[in-house]
Structure 1
């Protein structure tokens, strides 16, 4: 009797279970939009490849829509991610270090590349060593950016002062494209700039290398130039997607290493998509050859750049001993991704 009752219950319940499963399977997945930011620099190459080869889309899944915003500078990127206009993306450490101290809502989740900037001088400027920069004007892309901080460290190593007159080195800000014109017109004497701008000036006969990429401080070019960051909000709400983004970044790095010639073409195509203008593969090759593609990043790298920013007066309202970036660098997701391989 009990067995019969059990069978009758099963007959009643089983259709209900199957119907519920059917409804669940038929229900569409919740749609999500991921907003990715990237700078219009070749040094953000892993991001360009990850976008072009659909590594982000493949990882996120078809239900996720991707929106890409290309920025002209790191300061605008940092503001955008702090105010949740974008969720994650590629940027130099300097701007987001400064923004983090204000908002505390950004995390570094992976490296992308190290190095990639050179110090070039105008051929007829009479500059043959770093000490000859006294009385000269040196351009950097932006205040507080990684090239600016590297230049300040280099000048400090050589015992040179930064001034607004001929007694020291004058630092001015110019976008790389504007610096190219300024060098031709002899308005600036040198520039510490991300590649491939230095190579482009050299190839056209305007400039020559004073300090190559693997001698630029800190750590002789082994410093983070491009990093992958995400907002706290996005990490807390979509930790799984953040891990997929980290994996896509790694796939971009690996693709460039394994298919360099093809990568140059794809990077140019993605630049054209984002900016309306591609770049000669030879120039992209020069940029890639002058940097180290890596997902590695260490707290000491962040601390060193933060100290340089503090010494330059870009970080205000805190004491040097109060600078703490232990929570800014979150490698827990990167470690999880690497363990899942």
Structure 2
């Protein structure tokens, strides 16, 4: 009976030993290959997240590392999760990313730009052909303290147009961004600076009785004044600790992100269906029309640095605290 018990005990011990060896080998293998179990990535609800719907649908693993996706309502929701380590990769406006890095340089780094300028002045006034035509008018602007405001202020200043006093352009921020398209369509306001998809929504929902026009493309005006094609509006950021520990994996993810952006631009109908399926903020019918106007593109951080810094200098001029009071150093840019 003792021999029988001893045999069972020996078998159990052997099983535990081999299980331990198996676990240890698997763990060592993971560490040796420097691959984490998973990546947690979040996008923002709305246009900046639409170009990643392809990832949600088709890319569940990279280099044997699982990827989990989520959609956050705003940067205010996404950012705390990133800083607490609940997320590894996220989508943020460049000014928000810069401000965080300025106060917490070990928190995040900027890996790439995923979306460029997509601002339009929409109007029910078909006579608007230039900034000069806006003199004496009130323009409602989406997002006080954000990129639309400072881009618009910068190009007005470059045009020599006052923002106060006689013959000036008055900026009004009293209507929330989400309500501006409806305000234009209803005739409540005549002029508005809006990003996508709000410009597309306003144009599509206008009527013959009160037609809405894309009167001015702010990217074209910006390029004329600042000698650059456009400006970044959306960036991919990574937790700094994660990027330092797994740089090859981050590069692999960025390649998938670039592929997703290219696919979205080339397959607007299919992409729009995925946008609705993964609840990224738009119905497919609107998403399909908006995607061509959303300026999705991919540029690695180091390559995009001049455009990023030009935008940040604009923020520094009008609201330095919004980007931490200074330009970020080279360690901000992933390579």
TM bucket normalised to smaller: 0.7 to 0.9
Q: Distance in 2 between matches of 1:280 and 1:253?
A: 19
Q: Distance in 2 between matches of 1:165 and 1:36?
A: 49
Contact 2:315 2:323 in 1 (8 A): no
Match of 2:62 among 50, 54, 59: 59
Contact 2:269 2:288 in 1 (8 A): no
Q: Distance in 2 between matches of 1:69 and 1:237?
A: 25
The C-alpha deviation readout for 1:104-135, integer Å capped at 9, x for no partner, is 222111121322222212338x7443123334
Q: How many residues align?
A: 304
Match of 2:214 among 190, 209, 212: 209
- TM-superposed CA distance for 1:231, in Å, is 1.8
Q: Distance in 2 between matches of 1:50 and 1:36?
A: 10
Counterpart of 1:301?
A: 307
Counterpart of 2:91?
A: 90
1:83-232 correspondence to structure 2 within 5 Å: 83-104=84-105, 105-123=107-125, 127-163=128-164, 167-172=168-173, 174-205=175-206, 206-212=211-217, 214-218=219-223, 222-232=230-240
Match of 1:280 among 273, 282, 285: 285
Q: Distance in 1 between matches of 2:323 and 2:262?
A: 41
Q: Distance in 2 between matches of 1:133 and 1:315?
A: 29
- TM-superposed CA distance for 1:174, in Å, is 4.5
Q: Distance in 1 between matches of 2:332 and 2:23?
A: 43
The reply on whether 1:236 has 2:248 as its aligned counterpart is no
| Alpha carbons of structure 1 residues 203 and 67: separation in structure 2 relative to 1, 3 Å | closer
- TM-score, normalised to structure 2, is 0.75
Structure 2: gaps of 5 or more residues: 1-16
Q: Please report the RMSD computed on the Cα atoms of aligned residues, expressed in angstroms.
A: 3.5
Counterpart of 1:14?
A: none
Match of 1:323 among 307, 323, 327: 327
- TM-score, normalised to structure 1, is 0.74
The C-alpha deviation readout for 1:51-82, integer Å capped at 9, x for no partner, is 222x2x221636x462513223x455445534
1:225-264 correspondence to structure 2 within 5 Å: 225-264=233-272
Contact 2:94 2:234 in 1 (8 A): yes
SS of aligned partner of 1:159: coil
Contact 1:135 1:165 in 2 (8 A): yes
SS of aligned partner of 1:150: helix
- TM-superposed CA distance for 1:32, in Å, is 4.3
1:22-41 correspondence to structure 2 within 5 Å: 22=22, 24=24, 32=37, 34-41=39-46
Contact 1:46 1:256 in 2 (8 A): yes
Structure 1: gaps of 5 or more residues: 1-16, 333-341
- TM-superposed CA distance for 1:310, in Å, is 1.0
- TM-superposed CA distance for 1:303, in Å, is 0.9
| Alpha carbons of structure 1 residues 289 and 96: separation in structure 2 relative to 1, 3 Å | same
Contact 1:107 1:229 in 2 (8 A): yes
SS of aligned partner of 2:90: strand
SS of aligned partner of 1:97: helix
Q: Distance in 1 between matches of 2:117 and 2:84?
A: 29
